[in-house]
Structure 1
Amino acid sequence: MNYPVWELYYFNSGTLVAIIAVFHVFISHFAVGGGIFLWLTDLKSVREGNISLRQYVRKHVWFFLLLTMVFGGVTGVGIWFIIALSSPWATSLLIHTFVFAWAIEWVFFIVEIVSLLIYHYKFETLSDKNRLRIAFIYAASAWLSLFVINGIITFMLTPGQWLRTHSFWDGFFNPTNLPGLVFRTAICIMFAGLFGFVTAVFEKEDKLRQEFLRYCVKWLYIPLPFLIISGLWYFYSIPENARLTNFMLNKQTANAVNVFITASVILYLLSLILVFRASKLLHRIAVFILLLVGLLWMAGFEYMREYARKPYVIYGYMYSPSIMVADEKKLNKEGFLKNAKWTTIREVTEENKLIAGRELFNLQCLSCHTIKGVKNDIVEKTKGLTYLGVISQLYGQGKILDYMPKFIGNETEMKALATFIVSLHGDKETKLTEFKPKKEDIAIPPFDSQKDEYVLLAWSSLGEKCVTDSDKWFSFLYPGSSFQAILIKRGKKPEIISEGVEIHYEVQKGYENPSMHSDFWKYSQSLKGKKIPENVGLTGKALKGVFEYDKDKKIFSAEGIPVLPYRDDGVFNPYPIFEIKAVEKATGKILQTTKFVAPVSTELKCFECHGGKPRWRGISGISDETAINILRVHDRNNGTKLLESALKGKPQMCQKCHEDFIVKSEGVKGHNSFSASMHGWHANYIPWKDERACNLCHPNDAKGNTRCNRDIHAKLGIGCTQCHGKLDEHASSILLSQQGTRTSKLLLRNLKPETLISEITQRKSWIQQPDCLNCHVGFQKPKENVKAFNKWTIDVSELYRNKKDNTGKIPCIACHSSPHATYPSFNEYGKNRDNIQPIQYQRTPMPISSEMKCEVCHRVKMQGNYHHANMIRAFRNKKALPQ
């Protein structure tokens, strides 16, 4: 940020550095190893009196001089030129920190030049003794050049104690200096043999050619064990976080590793051809292929080394865009542009936002990214992201995938950069109008408190059953609502009926054909491992059927009902009505009839970040475009092939890998649970921590198409975070339960919950939830500003939807209704849609038997708090009731 930016959008400066550097390093290692090769080969020719070998050396030295001194020298100057333009601050730092080391290196380099020129031009006139001395001087000075340069290069990856002391010696003799030196020395010797092939294959006499080739092959294989041992030593001398980040998370490193390993195998196997007799042509073809493979091998290694220090140019000291780590807090607080020396814009305004974004891109992104260029094209990388998606990417950048530096600057600057990046796509943001629910009146079933003998209570066990509705591509929530019911025979001492009756259910007209509106049934074989008949759920139940009696829970239950919010007449309504009838088995007599809502939502706002728009008539669901963008991101970040599988007609359930209690999946060992993965990942990226974050994935938005959070709590202003915690708190509580997996640690390390992580109680998703009695202590009115977060139920039996009253017979949910829809509920699709049963039985939308209406079941007034403490009292929030 303290130097001008070299504005290259198609070929960024980093790419140019890589191109020049790979060629130079390839040749420079040969220059070092070749010197040792010349000296020892010449020594061998003298000791053995081998004139042919001496002539081979004579030919080789001319090729060696041209390649190393001319091409090597030019590319060496080219590297200095290109890095000074690409990263001037880091270059300046290296020069000033190691000025005497560079001076010494230049002395060695001059000795190299002089000795090599003498060795070449005086080869025939010098005595054997003096010629070997000159050859040794060249070999020694070349290796000493490597010694000096290696210390400086390894410093960039592992500065070690230098970060604290800024001592020359601490920087030079850093943790990877020695393993790097051994490794590079082995490379030099290997390359000496590799380039020795070039001279050998042009020997005209077959016998000598074969002899020279076999000799050179030894130079290739002798350093191999040193390469392997020192390579491992080198690798494990790198900081653990750098190894994790760049060799496990950075997929570009994986590409470099693959090139390195593949080139290694080809290099050593192909070189065996040169051991055996073959034609000159075959030998020459093999040699030049080997040289190309050797270049790729060197490129693979150098790319791995460069990637290993990401996101820094000097590890832990300076980020790759030439921003000092020590300046990060200041720049985030004061603003990046205000402190940047080479920009005309100091403050972002509405008028200059696009230009400011471009300046920020140049200063923070251009060192690694291009614009529609050959490498790391920012347009391609952000393809499928909306403006909010880019903001989220910038907010989360460098947190989990920390091979990228974090965005540095204030919130206004982040928005400016996002504006510029989105403008490169030329796409307009999807503008959705606020959804307006279509209100529908519900005919309340009749109930005569004097004559009717039975009360039938039925409910959905979830306040909102969510369905992914992107089954062509992936699924994590399939159609399948669960209903429960109890039948009570009224009397002074009411009786719960479990025998001799059947409970029938039937969905309202228009919802009978969900397969017309969803691909779940088409792809059920791939998603769930079995072909499921259309309009039937996983349990075999359809939209009309009979409850089963659950002897353990002592309630009637109907699970896996495949209801969706799409009606055949084109109306979207996430609150379809089911009619329930209690029928006497022996006579077929209808004992009681009621209705209840089966809430079901396909409102997941993935498109807000991942592009596209809602699938079903632009109202709800995940579209093809959105789903494809999500799978691309997952595949890129995790090395999966989910998109490829989906394109072949084999979409996958997310819980195939990620354990999830709600869909009864054990997942794959070592993977985080589905909830931990989803919340943990997105908590690192979503810039909001309040209900806005919740509303992106859950159907609670007051302007959305579902508006799930619709009970008395919501009416009183109690939102998601007061029970479940803010996003970072919520994610942390689940991640802490993952037994310290590598990924859970990655997801946790940058979260900043308001409650200290050390004070957050871990929990298992869907099993441990906030308890109602956290706030309603003793069933009393909650205290001011009380929160339910961080105090969890012990197990599934303690969940609100499974708890029963003091008698152990009546489920709490039977009288108070489903989670997030407890009576009285305020449903914008119809004010009484969620209050049918309390209005049917007691003419008020309040909980069953509230306001001392015990006669609903008992036929007479009761005096005691029989079912739970503090129940015989007036309802506290009458002013909030639906009007």
Structure 2
Amino acid sequence: MNYPVWQLAFSGGGLLIALIAVLHVYISHFAIGGGLFLVLTEIKGYREGSQPILDYTRQHTKFFLLLTLVLGAITGVGIWFTIALIAPAATSILIHNFVFGWAIEWVFFLGEIVSILIYYQTFGRMERRSHLLIGWLYFIFAWLSLFAINGIIGFMLTPGEWLATGNFWDGIFNPAFWPALFFRTFLCLMLAGLYGFLTSTAIKEEAFRLRMVRYCAAWLLAPFLLFLASAWWYVQALPEPQRAWIANFSPELAPFLTVFLWASVLLFLGGLIMVIRLPKTATRSLAVVLLLLGITYMGAFEYIREGSRRPFTLYGHIYANSILVKDLGAVQAKGILASAKWTGKEITAENRLVVGRQLFNIMCSPCHSVGGPMRDIKKMSAKYESVYAMEAEISGQGRLIRCMPPFAGNLQERHALAAYIIEGLHNRKEQTTPPPQLSAPPLAPLPFDPEQDGYVLIAWNSLGMHSISDADGTFSLMPPANDLFAQLIKRGPIPEVVTEGVALSFRVEQGFEKPAAQVGFWKDLPALFGRSLPDNIGLSGQGLSGVMQRKQGGRSFVAEKVPVVPYPAQGGYQPYPSFTIEARDKTTNTLLAATRMVAPVATEMGCKTCHGGGWRRGNTGISTAAAQDILTMHDRFHKTKLAAQVKAGKPVLCQSCHPDPILNGPGKAGLLNLSASIHGFHANFLGGRGAEACALCHPSSPQGATRFLRGIHHEAGLDCTTCHGALEDHALALLLAEKQAGKPGAQRLMQHLTPQGATPLAGIQPRTPWLQQPDCLTCHVNFGPPETDSAFNVWTTGADALYRNRHDDAGSIHCAGCHGSPHAEYPATNPYERERDNFAPRQYQSNPYPLGANRNCKLCHTVDMDTDLHHPNSLNMMRNTRE
């Protein structure tokens, strides 16, 4: 970080190093195996008294000399030149710690040069024994050069004890030294056979050509099994994180590991084919193909080896961006600009793109190109629609993105880097889009005469907002399925909750009766849930109108999984469709009472912010492109094949793998539940953002098309984090429960999350999603005024204690029946039509306050009350009044 670096925008530093290094390594390994090939082939010629073999060996020596000394030496110097300019800090570490090792290796290399020149120049002119001795000396020097350089190369991957001791010998004889030495030695022998094919197939005499081709095939085939065994040994010598990274087919390495495995098979088969008598042209062509395949083979191996070091240049010691591991904390605290010598020190509105480019050069250019063929940052960042989204991606570096180092900068530097990528490279200017104008026709409350009417009918929705993805052709996160609840109360001095002899029905407001015409859920239902249903009929068998069922063992009625969607027939988006609930006498069909309620349902999920693709329609819905990217990323991180499954015509139901209490989905054993998985994953990218992080995904943004926070708590200035905690805390509570259940994925998602509130990790209480939520009485102790500013970390004991299911102290009336649905507590303010959520209180008491508030007990009791029957403090005056 404190050296000026060579800026290679198109190729990136990695590609240039890779091209030179792979070619050099391919040649240098041949230089070792080829040296032994020369000596043993010369001995073979003498032993068999074959002048053609000796002549062939001499010709092969010329080819060998030109290739290894000329091209090998040039590429060797090229490696030093490129790494010194592209990764100067790491190069300095190698030089200063292993100068003695390099000196030894250069002595051996000098021995190689001298001996091979003598060997070639004296071929046929020096006494046989002496000439062979020179050949043996060449091979020994070459192999000793490998011995020395293998220690240094292995050190970069597995430094072992050197990290603690800094000892030269601990670095050289690192954990991978011996398996790597055997692996490379056997590889050298195989490459000698591949290069031998190239010269032996040029022999004109057919019988002799076949004889030498088969001889070269033996060099390729004989060490093959030992080579594979040493490769396995090599992998086992790696530290567990690197071994897992390779063995589990990391996203970065998977294609190269596939190439390596297939090339192994093809090389072996190619060697067998070369043994067969083939026409000269075919043999020659196959030899060239095998040689090129060998280069590909070597390239795949080197990429895997180099890739398994990520995000380090020297594993565990220095990151690819030249920041030492031990200095990372200090740099993060101080900032990159303040720590680096070759950058500006201040970020302003005018220079932020220039500074962003400087930050890119330091942090990103060692691995990423700009518009080039290797890890092109423009291609990889194209889907991010805003600087904010790019900042989220940068935040996740070094966490779940294993191959990248943690971002070392402060918030200003993160923003400047993100701005450079989005605005500087993509020319995508930040646009201020005016919030959509929300409106809905007002619905007058149904009539109620407190002097004449004998019944009060109350109704509520079980959720503050039911969110569906509207991308069922790709995946389903939630189906259309709102639960409607109602209670019928017979008014009197001692009111009675009526459950017998009555029928409660429901019907949606006009325009929402045919959701199948608006969404593709019913078309994809058989593939998602394994069943077929008529259009507009939900998973419970309920449609958009029908009869409510008495809740088993309870005092309320319910219509479960009503398939309402936020798209009216007349067009547009309306996330607050209303339902009319009626109660009739079963015998006479006389209407006893009627009321209205809202069934909130939204498709405004913000996945497109980071996954691209835009909205499906207007400002809502997950587009097909965004949904496909989500599955592609899932495949990338978790080695699934969901994208291929969708391509084959079977959309993905998330709960088919991930357990989910809200759908009673058991999922697959050992996998995180859906809430813990989603929140735990994204908390690694969206941390430190408060309620803003919630609004990025959920339809709660005050500038969005839904704005589902509508209750009195929102009016009082509370937000998501007040009850659920910051995203990190929310995720940790979910993940801790999964960790206690023995699910290993929980720790992986937790390891980089730090609690944001006052509660330390050890104090966060685990919870089950949907069944354990913040308890109202945490703030409203004994139903009084709030005594704390956060309800986080005190969870309900189970589903029965949830606000949406809880009863009053008398065990008769649901809390939500009088106080309103979750997130729409009376008095609620609906963004589409101010009083839309307050149907019941406006109908029964001509104000938006909770039923019975301000001592309006006569609504149900018909007499004044002087005792807190339903809960303590219920006779107090309403505190949160509004104009």
Deviates most, 586-595 or 547-556: 547-556
Alpha-carbon distance in structure 1 between the residues aligned to 2:538 and 2:561 = 5
Per the alignment, residue 262 of structure 2 pairs with: 262
Q: CA deviation at 1:187?
A: 0.8
Per the alignment, residue 350 of structure 1 pairs with: 349
Q: CA deviation at 1:622?
A: 3.0
SS at match of 1:802: coil
Deviates most, 465-474 or 685-694: 465-474
Alpha-carbon distance in structure 1 between the residues aligned to 2:307 and 2:690 = 36
Task: Write out aligned runs for 1:646-661 (5 A).
Answer: 646=646, 650-661=650-661
SS at match of 2:350: coil
For 1:840-876, what per-residue CA distance to the aligned partner results, in whole angstroms no more than 9, with x for missing partners?
Answer: 33444333334444443333344444333x1442135
Q: CA deviation at 1:330?
A: 2.8
Alpha-carbon distance in structure 2 between the residues aligned to 1:295 and 1:14 = 18
Q: Structure 2: any 5+ residue segments left out of the alignment? A: none
In the alignment, is the contact (CA less than 8 A) between 1:582 and 1:591 conserved in 2?
Answer: yes
Aligned CA distance change for structure 1 residues 831 and 202 (closer, same or farther; 3 Å):
closer
Per the alignment, residue 365 of structure 1 pairs with: 364
Deviates most, 806-815 or 145-154: 806-815
Alpha-carbon distance in structure 2 between the residues aligned to 1:704 and 1:24 = 57
Deviates most, 563-572 or 228-237: 563-572
Q: Letter of the 1:757 partner, please give it.
A: L
Q: CA deviation at 1:54?
A: 4.1
In the alignment, is the contact (CA less than 8 A) between 2:784 and 2:873 conserved in 1?
Answer: no
Alpha-carbon distance in structure 1 between the residues aligned to 2:639 and 2:379 = 18
Does residue 538 of structure 1 match 2:532? no
Q: CA deviation at 1:590?
A: 0.8
For 1:16-74, what per-residue CA distance to the aligned partner results, in whole angstroms no more than 9, with x for missing partners?
Answer: 11111111111111111122223334344445555554444334323322222222222
Aligned CA distance change for structure 1 residues 220 and 552 (closer, same or farther; 3 Å):
farther
SS at match of 2:427: coil
Task: Write out aligned runs for 1:28-67 (5 A).
Answer: 28-47=28-47, 53-67=53-67
Does residue 798 of structure 1 match 2:801? yes
In the alignment, is the contact (CA less than 8 A) between 1:831 and 1:882 conserved in 2?
Answer: no
Does residue 746 of structure 1 match 2:745? no
SS at match of 1:459: strand
Deviates most, 813-822 or 438-447: 438-447
Alpha-carbon distance in structure 2 between the residues aligned to 1:495 and 1:342 = 79
Does residue 832 of structure 1 match 2:835? yes
Per the alignment, residue 480 of structure 1 pairs with: 481
Aligned CA distance change for structure 1 residues 117 and 814 (closer, same or farther; 3 Å):
same
Aligned CA distance change for structure 1 residues 42 and 669 (closer, same or farther; 3 Å):
farther
SS at match of 2:398: coil
In the alignment, is the contact (CA less than 8 A) between 2:687 and 2:728 conserved in 1?
Answer: no
Per the alignment, residue 778 of structure 1 pairs with: 782
In the alignment, is the contact (CA less than 8 A) between 2:855 and 2:877 conserved in 1?
Answer: no
Q: Letter of the 2:462 partner, please give it.
A: S
Per the alignment, residue 560 of structure 2 pairs with: 559
Deviates most, 724-733 or 477-486: 477-486
For 1:117-169, what per-residue CA distance to the aligned partner results, in whole angstroms no more than 9, with x for missing partners?
Answer: 22222232333322222222111111100011111111111222222322212
Does residue 443 of structure 1 match 2:444? yes
For 1:532-590, what per-residue CA distance to the aligned partner results, in whole angstroms no more than 9, with x for missing partners?
Answer: 43333222322221112232444311112222233333454322221111112221111
Paired residues, number: 877
Does residue 814 of structure 1 match 2:813? no
Per the alignment, residue 520 of structure 1 pairs with: 521
Deviates most, 528-537 or 89-98: 528-537
Alpha-carbon distance in structure 2 between the residues aligned to 1:51 and 1:64 = 19
Per the alignment, residue 763 of structure 1 pairs with: 767
For 1:266-322, what per-residue CA distance to the aligned partner results, in whole angstroms no more than 9, with x for missing partners?
Answer: 000121112233333332222222111111110110000110101111112221122
Per the alignment, residue 860 of structure 2 pairs with: 857
Q: Letter of the 1:331 partner, please give it.
A: V
Deviates most, 536-545 or 177-186: 536-545
Alpha-carbon distance in structure 2 between the residues aligned to 1:514 and 1:457 = 26
Deviates most, 411-420 or 432-441: 432-441
Alpha-carbon distance in structure 2 between the residues aligned to 1:124 and 1:95 = 42
Alpha-carbon distance in structure 1 between the residues aligned to 2:301 and 2:33 = 17
Q: Letter of the 1:78 partner, please give it.
A: G
Aligned CA distance change for structure 1 residues 566 and 865 (closer, same or farther; 3 Å):
same
Per the alignment, residue 374 of structure 1 pairs with: 373
In the alignment, is the contact (CA less than 8 A) between 1:850 and 1:871 conserved in 2?
Answer: no
Per the alignment, residue 217 of structure 2 pairs with: 217
Alpha-carbon distance in structure 1 between the residues aligned to 2:128 and 2:23 = 34
Per the alignment, residue 401 of structure 1 pairs with: 401
Deviates most, 580-589 or 323-332: 323-332
In the alignment, is the contact (CA less than 8 A) between 1:838 and 1:844 conserved in 2?
Answer: yes
In the alignment, is the contact (CA less than 8 A) between 1:610 and 1:629 conserved in 2?
Answer: yes
Q: CA deviation at 1:685?
A: 0.9
Q: CA deviation at 1:807?
A: 4.0
Alpha-carbon distance in structure 1 between the residues aligned to 2:459 and 2:576 = 15
Q: CA deviation at 1:261?
A: 0.6
Alpha-carbon distance in structure 1 between the residues aligned to 2:743 and 2:205 = 63
Aligned CA distance change for structure 1 residues 196 and 623 (closer, same or farther; 3 Å):
closer
Task: Write out aligned runs for 1:621-770 (5 A).
Answer: 621-624=621-624, 626-640=626-640, 642=642, 646=646, 650-739=650-739, 741-754=743-756, 755-770=759-774
Q: Structure 1: any 5+ residue segments left out of the alignment? A: none
Alpha-carbon distance in structure 2 between the residues aligned to 1:524 and 1:24 = 57
For 1:414-464, what per-residue CA distance to the aligned partner results, in whole angstroms no more than 9, with x for missing partners?
Answer: 211111111221234454212343264332222233332222222111121
In the alignment, is the contact (CA less than 8 A) between 2:712 and 2:828 conserved in 1?
Answer: yes
Deviates most, 854-863 or 306-315: 854-863
Deviates most, 5-14 or 630-639: 630-639
SS at match of 2:550: strand
Aligned CA distance change for structure 1 residues 338 and 155 (closer, same or farther; 3 Å):
same
Per the alignment, residue 189 of structure 1 pairs with: 189
Q: Letter of the 1:285 partner, please give it.
A: S
TM-score, normalised with respect to structure 2: 0.94
Per the alignment, residue 491 of structure 2 pairs with: 490
Q: CA deviation at 1:251?
A: 1.7
Per the alignment, residue 850 of structure 2 pairs with: 847
Q: CA deviation at 1:639?
A: 4.8
